């Protein structure tokens, strides 16, 4: 099946690339400008609010692997769809939210998705994101492409300072009852996930675990890592080269204990998982150093039974 395009505007395009870039079935995510009439606009021209364009991303995806509906669901979870003036601390037309549809089918799916979000009660204000026909899309300057990879520290500081991550956490995180968590989790699981503790190396459940399956958040159940990406880093904690492609893992700047590190947290459970370091093997060169206490293991044989059937293809 041929690939298709999805085009979304959600404020700063740096922040809109990362949620989609790691999703299964996504071939590429390009930052650019669309919606206006000025041909080949520059970043400065778009920011001047004189072109009619907005910052946007264009996604090339394989509909046989990931549906447009799934992309829409991911899109809503990245933005404030109730803000008609822009996004977070970026205000102006060029930072407004739009869904640019490429077919009548996409238009209808977007409208249904928007209606479901409005009826969900997640937001008390009206959903103001507009659904409009796609227009010519102009890729942004090269330095804007994959900005989060080229300037990771500045990107993380920008996201944190913009208020986007705080907003996402407030509206989409699992609502947690502290007393229920204390009753359900072991003491070390609670301390790690809720108080950012670190378990002892070599004395934890999964540091040398090799069975095929996936690892999910012990609090929310959201899928995090695959045994396919696990390796022995000789550090005493479970280590992975990358998260699962559905990208339920958030990376945040951590300046505690007199160090500058990148903390890893689950997106919806908001559980502390561990940290990621740039000393891992290829192909990513990364080492996601994760506490066993933050994880539950789902073996391959139980993926269907536990509701994770779509991950079976990882082990075929």
Binning the chain into helix, strand and coil, the percentages to the nearest 5 are 35, 25, 40
User: What are the residue ranges of helices labelled H in 237-311?
Assistant: none
Show the beta-strand stretches assigned E in 35-74: 54-61
What is the C-alpha to C-alpha distance for residues 241 and 225, in angstroms, rounded to an integer?
Answer: 9
12 is a catalytic site residue:
yes
What is the C-alpha to C-alpha distance for residues 132 and 64, in angstroms, rounded to an integer?
Answer: 25
**Helix 152-162 to helix 164-172 angle, to the nearest 10 degrees?**
60
DSSP 111-167: HHHHHHHHHHTS-SSPP--EEEE----EEPPGGGTTHHHHSHHHHHHHHHHHTHHHH
Question: Residues 15, 47, 235, 289: which is the catalytic one?
Answer: 289
Question: Residues 12, 15, 47, 235: which is the catalytic one?
Answer: 12
15 is a catalytic site residue:
no
What is the C-alpha to C-alpha distance for residues 271 and 264, in angstroms, rounded to an integer?
Answer: 9
By annotation, the residues acting in catalysis are 12, 289
């Amino acid at each position: 099946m041929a690939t298709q395009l999805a085009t979304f505007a959600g404020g700063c395009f740096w922040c809109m690339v990362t949620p989609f870039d790691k999703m299964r079935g996504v071939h590429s995510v390009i930052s650019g400008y669309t919606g206006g009439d000025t041909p080949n606009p520059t970043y400065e021209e778009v920011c001047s609010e004189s072109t009619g364009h907005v910052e946007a991303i264009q996604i090339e995806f394989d509909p046989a692997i990931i549906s447009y509906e799934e992309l829409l669901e991911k899109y809503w979870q990245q933005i404030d769809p109730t803000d008609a003036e822009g996004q977070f601390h970026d205000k102006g037309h060029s930072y407004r939210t739009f869904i640019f549809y490429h077919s009548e089918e996409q238009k209808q799916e977007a409208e249904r998705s928007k209606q479901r979000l409005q009826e969900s009660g997640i937001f008390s204000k009206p959903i103001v994101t507009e659904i409009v026909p796609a227009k010519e899309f102009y890729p942004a300057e090269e330095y804007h492409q994959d900005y989060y990879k080229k300037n990771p520290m500045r990107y993380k500081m920008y996201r944190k300072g913009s208020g986007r991550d705080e907003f996402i956490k407030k509206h989409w995180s699992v609502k947690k009852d502290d007393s229920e968590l204390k009753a359900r989790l072991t003491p070390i699981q609670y301390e790690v996930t809720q108080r950012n503790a670190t378990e002892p190396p070599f004395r934890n459940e999964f540091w040398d675990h090799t069975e095929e399956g996936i690892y999910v958040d012990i609090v929310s159940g959201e899928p995090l890592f695959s045994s396919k990406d696990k390796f022995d880093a000789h550090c005493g904690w479970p280590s992975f080269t990358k998260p699962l492609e559905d990208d339920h893992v958030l990376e945040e700047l951590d300046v505690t204990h007199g160090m500058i590190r990148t903390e890893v947290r689950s997106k919806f459970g908001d559980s502390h998982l561990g940290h990621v370091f740039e000393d891992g093997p290829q192909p990513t060169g990364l080492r996601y150093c994760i506490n066993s206490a933050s994880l539950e293991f789902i073996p391959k044989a139980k993926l269907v039974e536990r509701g994770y059937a779509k991950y079976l293809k990882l082990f075929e």
